[in-house]
Structure 1
């Protein structure tokens, strides 16, 4: 059952919830099994003064946001929609898969503390599986596609080069399907989607699919992990 089929007003759909909790208690989650240790990018964006922004999409935004809220150097990570128009940027409409939007996360980061390349490495390694086309785990549809929405020509150049590098190294069993293109607009998601992983760690979908992503961040990128998440409602962004 996909995350979009869970009621927004009910954090546990009884039957599927019980199954998910049982599975999570017995075997490693799908997310944990799919984490891949990959090389760092050979190219990177040159560090500059002031905060930088990139928007990424990789399935349900709850887990992607949760990963980057636990990433040191990220000062804000907001769940939202990118790839479509402002008029269709709401959860119910985006969930139809007909808007062009992808569930996305806007990441604002301090380039003096973490590089753009490192963010991409985390994104490709633990935040999602970049070889799944128009889906991610249990969620299917173009709104769950893998994408990088860049905010500069340099960001796009580095992202394209990194994808080529990873494909050439054959670190995945299948080719990367992540699309890279300029960000034309980002629209924050509804308030109930923000900080979802932190607020609902025991929700079956989160426990099974997303908590292991944060655990893998801590394990694989220990030097980039921060225990205390930077939450949307507490983040202070000046740029």
Structure 2
């Protein structure tokens, strides 16, 4: 059983525990950002448990949808139990759809490298270990790939973190949405021990460090589907 599942089954242990935040390191925005465009874009971000990453981007202005899912492996093994074995090549990830007129790719990435996860942890994130929890960006355009790689180089040269960035960048092949019960999880289950202990602090970090970009009411997968 994964530690995440153990935490969910052990509510009393964490009922009185203080809020816990994984490493939050505010980093500068990218020196190179995308040019203005009116076309909606998507990018897929992996950074540990998809519950927390999805929760962060659902509260970021300009994001029109954030869907938890799996990237990096085959369709036949893109299910939660199989991916959790760490043998499928998938990463738990989030497909972020955003309006560049409201939020730039640079802001998406600054949030990713600042509050959504710790990009220096190799094949793990917080309490979760395995390649399915790796730090990875799956780009959907060549322009995105150039910007992400330039940003990682910028942060490494500036020694923004005490350890090197391990985030892998590759072109997106396929994204497979996760099972319905994983969608909007942080919003639906804010008092679950894992969410309260590991993921709510990330959302609070977005509110604290990016107040102009934070929205209190999250965009939910269920609502995004209804509007399409």
- Give the TM-score normalised by the residue count of structure 1: 0.91
**Structure 1 moving runs of 4+ over 2 Å:** 1-6, 17-24, 236-239
Contact in 2 for aligned 1:51/1:111 (Cα 8 Å)? yes
**SS in structure 2 of the partner of residue 76 of structure 1:** strand
Deviation at 1:237, TM superposition (A): 8.4
Deviation at 1:97, TM superposition (A): 0.2
Residue 184 (1) aligns with residue 193 (2) = no
Distance 1:124 1:3 in 2: 24
Contact in 1 for aligned 2:46/2:136 (Cα 8 Å)? yes
Residue number among 189, 194, 204 corresponding to 1:200 in the alignment:
189
Aligned to 1:98: 87
Aligned to 1:219: 208
Residue 229 (1) aligns with residue 214 (2) = no
Q: Structure 1, residues 48-79: CA drift from partner, whole Å, max 9, x if none?
A: 12210000000000000000000000000000
Judged with a 3 Å threshold, the aligned counterparts in structure 2 of structure 1 residues 74 and 3 are, in CA distance, closer, same or farther, namely: farther
Contact in 1 for aligned 2:42/2:95 (Cα 8 Å)? yes
Gaps of 5+ in 2: none
Gaps of 5+ in 1: none
Contact in 1 for aligned 2:38/2:100 (Cα 8 Å)? yes
Q: Give the total of aligned pairs.
A: 228
Distance 2:33 2:143 in 1: 9
Aligned to 2:140: 151
Aligned to 2:21: 30
Aligned to 2:154: 165
Residue 20 (1) aligns with residue 14 (2) = yes
What is the aligned-residue RMSD (CA, Å)? 1.6
Distance 1:82 1:174 in 2: 26
Deviation at 1:43, TM superposition (A): 0.4
